[in-house]
Structure 1
Amino acid sequence: MAAPIDLELKKAFSELQVKMIDTQQKVKLADLQIDQLTRVQKHAKLTHTEITTLPDNTRLYEGVGRMFILQSKEEINNQLMDKQKTADEKIKELEQKKVYLERSVKEAEDNIREMLLSRRAQ
């Protein structure tokens, strides 16, 4: 009678191990993406602060591939603000994803603990 329960526990542990490894990889990926987005956000913010100090008649160019396009100060400021907003939204999404992943692993661990406790009670 003990053999089927042991196989069930072994299967549950192997599933948990696979889930933990997968989740850890996803969390690391999310952390890397958050770091990259914070750098993009910081770059856009610094560029925006520098541009605001320039006189309004200054000619500003946007780099596109290997060329530069003349843009108005307002257009560049709008693009930088959009970049900051987009990065901020993506960071929030990634942080929510991380919380969800960590919660799902904790739930799986709790399920296995319950399984162990029920086995010991028998």
Structure 2
Amino acid sequence: MAAPIDLELKKAFTELQAKMIDRQQKVKLADLQIDQLIRLQKHAKLTLSEITALPDSTRVYEGVGRMFILQSKEEISNQLTDKQKTADEKIKELEQKKSYLERSVKEAEDNIREMLLSRRAQ
């Protein structure tokens, strides 16, 4: 009679373990995306600070693929500001997603511990 219980326990344990590993990978992916967005945000901020230091009569070009398009200084500044805002919003979303996934990993770990402790108690 112990064999069916062991098989059920083993099946539940492997399912929880797979779920936990999947969530941990998603947390790492969210971390990588957050790091990438932070770099993008810093790049936009530095570029914006350099552009604002230029005189108004300076010709400013935007790189598009393999060509450059003449843009006004104001348009490029607006684009860089928008990039920063968009990156900030995405970072907030990813941090919320990451915290949810971390809680989920913690719950899966707790469930695994409970299963092992209940098995030892029997």
Length-normalised TM-score, structure 1: 0.89
* 1:77 alignment partner AA: S
2:16 match? 16
2:112 match? 112
Structure 2 distance, partners of 1:26, 1:2, is 36
1:9 positional shift: 1.6
Structure 1 distance, partners of 2:114, 2:24, is 23
Structure 1 distance, partners of 2:118, 2:21, is 26
* 1:33 alignment partner AA: Q
Q: 1:80 to 1:94 in 2, by over 3 A?
A: same
Structure 1 distance, partners of 2:72, 2:97, is 38
* 2:62 alignment partner AA: E
Could you list the per-position Cα deviations for residues 1-54 of structure 1 after superposition, in whole angstroms to 9, with x for gaps in the alignment? 322322222112101221122112211211111111111100000000011111
2:89 match? 89
1:74 match? 74
Give percent identity, aligned residues only.
89
1:112 positional shift: 3.1
* 2:69 alignment partner AA: I
Q: Secondary structure at the match of 2:69?
A: strand
1:53 match? 53
* 5+ long unaligned stretches in structure 2: none
Could you list the per-position Cα deviations for residues 68-119 of structure 1 after superposition, in whole angstroms to 9, with x for gaps in the alignment? 1111111101000000111111111111111111111211222333344444
Q: What is the alpha-carbon root mean square deviation over aligned residues? A: 1.6
1:101 match? 101
1:43 match? 43
* 2:25 alignment partner AA: Q
2:65 match? 65
1:2 match? 2
Q: Secondary structure at the match of 2:57?
A: coil
